[in-house]
């Protein structure tokens, strides 16, 4: 979920609740009115949910930027990573990072002379 959809999600939930609340107020029994404290508490919870979703999406943006900066710092360094050989077995390979690619899915790909793999696959880094 991206940051705008997370914030829209909380906003949509809050708007739906407000519509429901207004409908309930219009149709309430005058002899048994709704509890104001409960309504205020629910509104505060929706506000907290919206703030938490906003913080979560901001944190995700910071994490993404940090990962890209780290990947870029690996250019020119020798790294070791898990690789699949011709027989399908997993080996440890190494190479000098020549390029960093940010693909459309947000995944960071490191490119060496002979391999391309995700940043998460890095096992070790040497100068």
Domain range summary for the chain, segments of one domain joined by +: 3-71, 74-126
User: Predicted confidence band at 2 (pLDDT cuts at 50, 70, 90)?
Assistant: low
User: Predicted confidence band at 18 (pLDDT cuts at 50, 70, 90)?
Assistant: confident
**Six token digits for residue 44:** 């505060």
User: Predicted confidence band at 100 (pLDDT cuts at 50, 70, 90)?
Assistant: very high
Cα separation of 89 and 84, whole Å?
A: 5
**Is 0.75 surpassed by the pTM of this model?**
no
pLDDT of residue 22: 83
Q: Does domain 74-126 have CATH number 2.30.30?
A: yes
């929706």: which residue's tokens?
46
pLDDT of residue 68: 94
pLDDT of residue 8: 63
Distance of CA 124 to the CA centre of its chain: 25
pLDDT in tens, 39-58: 778 778 877 888 888 898 89
pLDDT of residue 77: 96
User: Predicted confidence band at 6 (pLDDT cuts at 50, 70, 90)?
Assistant: low
- Cα atoms in the 13 Å half-sphere on the side-chain side of 87: 3
């Amino acid at each position: 979920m991206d940051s705008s959809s997370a914030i829209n999600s909380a906003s949509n939930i809050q708007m739906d609740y407000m519509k429901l609340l207004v409908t309930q107020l219009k149709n309430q029994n005058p002899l048994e009115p709704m509890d104001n404290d409960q309504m205020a508490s629910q509104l505060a919870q929706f506000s907290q949910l919206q703030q938490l979703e906003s913080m979560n999406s901001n944190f995700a943006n910071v994490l993404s930027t940090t990962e890209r900066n780290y990947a870029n710092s690996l250019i020119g360094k020798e790294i070791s990573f898990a690789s699949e050989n011709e027989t399908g077995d997993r080996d440890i390979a190494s190479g000098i990072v020549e390029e960093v690619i940010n693909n459309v899915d947000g995944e960071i790909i490191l490119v060496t002379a002979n391999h391309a793999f995700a940043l998460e696959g890095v096992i070790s880094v040497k100068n």
